[in-house]
Chains A and B, each alone.
Chain A
Amino acid sequence: MTIEDTRTSEAGAATGSRHAGAAAPGRRTVLPALSSGARHPTRPEVRRNLASIGRDDVLRVLGAAAAGIATTSWLFTQIVAFDGALPFVLISYVLFLGYFVVLISFDDNRVTIIDRVANVIIHSLAVVLILALIVVVVFTVIRGSEALFHFNFWTQDLSTAGPLDPLTTGGMLHAAIGTLIMIAFALTFSIPLGLLCAVFLSEFPGKFSRLVRTVVEAMTALPSIICGLFIYATYVLMFGLDRSGFAASLAITIMILPIIIRSADVVLRLVPGTLKEASLGLGAGQWRTIWNVVLPTSRSGLMTAIILGTARGIGETSPVLLTAGYTTYINMNPFTGPMVSLPFATFTLVKSPEPSQIARGFGAAAVLMVLVFLLFLIARLIGGRGPGQLSRRARRRVAAASIRDAQRYTQRSAVGNPSAGGTASHGGGHSPESLQQTGSGHK
């Protein structure tokens, strides 16, 4: 009844819908209908279309844009002698908004104008951000392609190429190898430590883990240069060891450890409590529960955490800057002698005034960026799912496992020896199914 009345009242009101809602409990139909009828005696209510974009909208935007650009070019050529692409764009955008408001106000009321303008502004902000990304990526790749298309760029180091040599000699192999060695060492430290610590934070709540979590959160704020400075002051100056790839990987470890712990902790906390309780209820211990239920459930999220940490680790320059030292040779030994990474090489090369050095720097940056993209793509592919959602392959695996189990059960009941299954199923528990099996094995 109430809804119907409100509807009828709205049918007469172009702008009075809010009044209708407010007045609904008291005098439902009379008041709004009267007031709106007084405002728009002739115009019937048109249903507001929230979804689609009509021909009018497109024409308005185009018209306003054309007018804005035209006015700006007139301003730039006739009124103020001025150049530069960015001021042109900014001024024409402001003018475009102005014309746009005027155009809409011919047809629509204030509420609609605000809606349309907000719509346009939000669209353009999003476009600006994505355009900026495209400019960054395309600019780097184009400037880098100069060096990238020389085969030697991929197969040589810079030891034979001086700053004045053309791009046909020398390459970035040493930096690529250095990056791989550093990140490999950093990951061997940070993955086990980080994941174990994240499991500790999410599975063993208590005072101590709260303290650890607080400190880890504080450390995500640690500027990366401080990690480098710390390792430089301890490893290099205090212990008197060489600057080396190993020192750099220690600095990278300190930097990415809190990142990995924090995002892994978030993922682990998303594992449904009912799954854990089911596992515990079936008689598994805490270790079995974590190994067989918690970790498999959140595997994709954990992989994402690791890969994002890796992407951050290989891209960061400042920890390496202070701890690795610069070299132009391939150095396979991470413990002695300087070692250089791709971002560090980029950083050093572009500070040179020589165009060929700068081109090499851009080449290294482009390679680095492609590497990050690839890592990111992998992270998206395996990490897009929430805990418990399986890929097609994983689903097939689970199905096959349960078919196997069913076959074993039928075999066992055919043999008729129920106590043998209980002990046999105990050893090889590597999947959630084995838990069910432990539970039902004693029936």
Chain B
Amino acid sequence: MSQNDTIQRSAATGDRSRYADDGSLDDALTGLGVDADPSASGGPGASGNGAGNGVGGSGNGSGSTPAKPAADTEKRRNPATARGWQDVLFRSLARSAGAVVLGIMGLVGLFLVVRGSEAIGSAGPSFLTEQSWEPNSGTFGIAAVLFGTVTIALIAIVVAIPLALGSATYISEYAPRNIKGFLTGIVDLMAAIPSVVYGLWGVFWLEANVLPVSQWISTFFGWIPIFAVEDFDANNPLATPTVFTASALLAGLVVAMMVAPIASSIMREVFSQAPLGEREGALALGSTKWGMIRSVVYPFGTGGIIGGTMLGLGRALGETIAVYLVISPVFIIQPNILATGTNSISALVALRYGEASPFELSALMAAGLVLFIITMIVNFGASIIISRSRSGASSEA
């Protein structure tokens, strides 16, 4: 309705001829409770929206409008209904672009479901419980790869979230003003580095540096089940650290480096929106800086923290190339995160698509479908949490 009020009739005259024969205009205006022909009712602004018509009305009042007969074609336009041919064309073009995008995206989803259902239908519920992957002999399931995917993603999140939280807090609260923009750029840049570069880094640099750590953890914390490594004997001085290569931990660390900047930039965005008044209030009440952060910034940004974490999780679940380069694929559930061998759904697809028979391709589609559904749930959860939170009303994610 406010748009109605802002219409200035003097402006409308310029386009008058274009809309003159738009019969639906009158009906729409009447429907909105606006007098469609103000000149008939004694001049501009006479019919209810006098204040809004002030500027336009004064221009017109001294002009020729009141003198014109009531059948004059000048009418107040309703921007919601009035259209020239460009508007009609543009509207249909935009609508069809939306339809095309919807079509493409729907096609991908539909295709996954249709092709994947063939394999799921033949495997039945064992698709979720079977560990081995031999579709051509009929025994296949995603238990092992799904477990590996989730393990890698969880390790990545556990490592990445403190880093993301710390760096986001630093950039929004501690960093000197003049390097804030620079640091923001660096973190965003990190999110844009290609995954294959992270994969290279993981294989050629991180692996050698993580082996001693793995060995150390396994030696001292081997009694915790997930840190146990079967073939490793801590008391054997000649034990090689090769039993720790290509582990889920390594893959998780590489993925963490890719996830942290994504989560960090969302958290920073939310933290920087924390209301100044509340910050100052906390400081004025004698709070330390950390006290202020803990009692104002973090509660305000809870939605952003959770949402950023979940978006990072979604990315970690779907990561392909870096994981593929780092891991050595196995098809058993590998609960020992330090031991060699793990797997992930996307790495499985990248590994097996080439020599796949049509049926195996369908099985890969089904695995991809499961991955897609999981990431979609995680992402939707993230956006719902972000948008429902106090800080998320205007945030972008």
Contact = CB atoms under 8 A, between A and B. Distances in A.
Nearest to A231: B108
Nearest to A422: B14
A85 interface: yes
Contacts of A237: 358, 361
B157 interface: no
Given A221-B318, A230-B108, A283 B213 contact: no
A168 B371 CA distance: 44
Given A115-B289, A133-B186, A221-B379, A123 B170 contact: yes
B242 interface: no
A78 interface: no
Interface stretch (B130-138, B161-169, B328-336): B161-169
Contacts of A193: 97, 100-101
A201 B98 contact: yes
A442 B10 contact: yes
Contacts of A258: 105
A310 to B, nearest CB: 10
A369 B194 CA distance: 7
A151 interface: no
Interface string A95-136: 000000000000000011011001101111110111011011
Interface string A161-185: 0000000000000000000000000
A205 to B, nearest CB: 11
Given A119-B290, A281-B11, A317-B194, A140 B169 contact: no
Interface stretch (A61-69, A342-350, A403-411): A342-350
A302 interface: no
Question: Which residue, of A215, A227, A229, A321, has the highest number of chain B Cβ atoms within 10 A?
Answer: A229
A48 interface: yes
A221 B293 CA distance: 32
Given A119-B174, A135-B205, A317-B194, A208 B383 contact: no
Interface residues of A, number: 120
A277 B209 contact: no
A156 interface: no
A199 B84 CA distance: 18
B94 A200 contact: yes
A438 B16 CA distance: 12
Nearest to A213: B98
Interface stretch (B36-44, B224-232, B345-353): B345-353
B29 interface: no
B8 A365 contact: no
B94 A204 contact: yes
Interface stretch (B121-129, B280-288, B300-308): B280-288
Contacts of B188: 376
A82 interface: yes
B212 A321 contact: no
Given A82-B216, A230-B112, A233-B111, A203 B291 contact: no
A114 to B, nearest CB: 6
A225 B350 contact: yes
Given A115-B290, A212-B98, A221-B372, A129 B264 contact: yes
B383 to A, nearest CB: 6
B373 to A, nearest CB: 9
B158 interface: no
Chain B interface, DSSP helix/strand/loop, else mixed: helix
Given A130-B186, A204-B94, A361-B200, A21 B285 contact: yes
Contact size range, B:
35 or more
B286 A125 contact: no
Given A221-B372, A285-B87, A372 B193 contact: yes
Interface string A279-290: 011110111101
A89 to B, nearest CB: 10
A122, A140, A217 interface centre (most CB from chain B within 10 Å): A122
B192 A311 contact: yes
Contacts of A130: 167, 183, 186
Interface centre among A83, A197, A261, A343 (most CB of B within 10 A): A197
Interface string B93-107: 111011111101110
B221 interface: no
A126 B115 CA distance: 45
A87 B213 contact: yes
A289 to B, nearest CB: 8
A120 to B, nearest CB: 10
Nearest to A194: B101
Interface string A185-224: 0000000111011011101100011011001111111111
Given A87-B212, A215-B102, A376-B188, A317 B87 contact: no
A388 interface: no
B329 to A, nearest CB: 14
A113 B163 CA distance: 22
A341 B6 CA distance: 54
A129 B212 contact: no
B359 interface: no
B84 A229 contact: no
B6 A277 contact: yes
Interface in A278-328: 278, 280-283, 285-288, 290, 308, 311-312, 314-318, 321-322
Nearest to A288: B86
Contacts of A312: 192
A443 B361 CA distance: 70
Given A257-B104, A317-B321, A140 B368 contact: no
Given A204-B94, A443-B59, A316 B194 contact: yes
A122 B7 contact: no
Given A86-B210, A136-B197, A285-B86, A10 B286 contact: yes
Contacts of B84: 285, 287
B97 A223 contact: no
A350 B203 contact: yes
Name the residue in A123, A130, A283 with the highest tally of chain B Cβ atoms < 10 Å from its Cβ: A283
A143 interface: yes
A337 interface: no
Interface in B256-296: 257, 260-261, 264, 283, 285-286, 288-291, 293-294
Interface in B140-174: 162-167, 169-171, 173-174
B11 A283 contact: yes
A308 B372 contact: no
Given A215-B102, A285-B84, A126 B14 contact: no
Given A129-B261, A277-B3, A316-B194, 14 more contacts: A82-B216, A133-B193, A139-B204, A193-B101, A200-B97, A208-B95, A211-B102, A219-B108, A233-B365, A317-B195, A362-B200, A368-B196, A376-B185, A438-B14
30 contacts: A10-B286, A21-B286, A82-B212, A86-B209, A124-B166, A126-B175, A128-B163, A136-B193, A140-B201, A143-B204, A196-B93, A199-B94, A209-B98, A212-B99, A216-B105, A218-B105, A218-B376, A219-B109, A223-B368, A234-B111, A258-B105, A280-B6, A283-B14, A286-B91, A287-B86, A288-B86, A308-B192, A312-B192, A314-B194, A369-B197
The 4 closest A-B pairs by CB, nearest first: A125-B166, A84-B212, A315-B194, A17-B286
Interface of B: 2-3, 6-8, 10-15, 59, 77, 79, 82-84, 86-87, 89-91, 93-95, 97-102, 104-106, 108-109, 111-112, 115, 162-167, 169-171, 173-175, 181, 183, 185-190, 192-201, 203-205, 209-213, 215-216, 257, 260-261, 264, 283, 285-286, 288-291, 293-294, 314, 317-321, 325, 346, 349-350, 353, 358, 361, 364-365, 368, 371-372, 375-376, 378-380, 383, 396
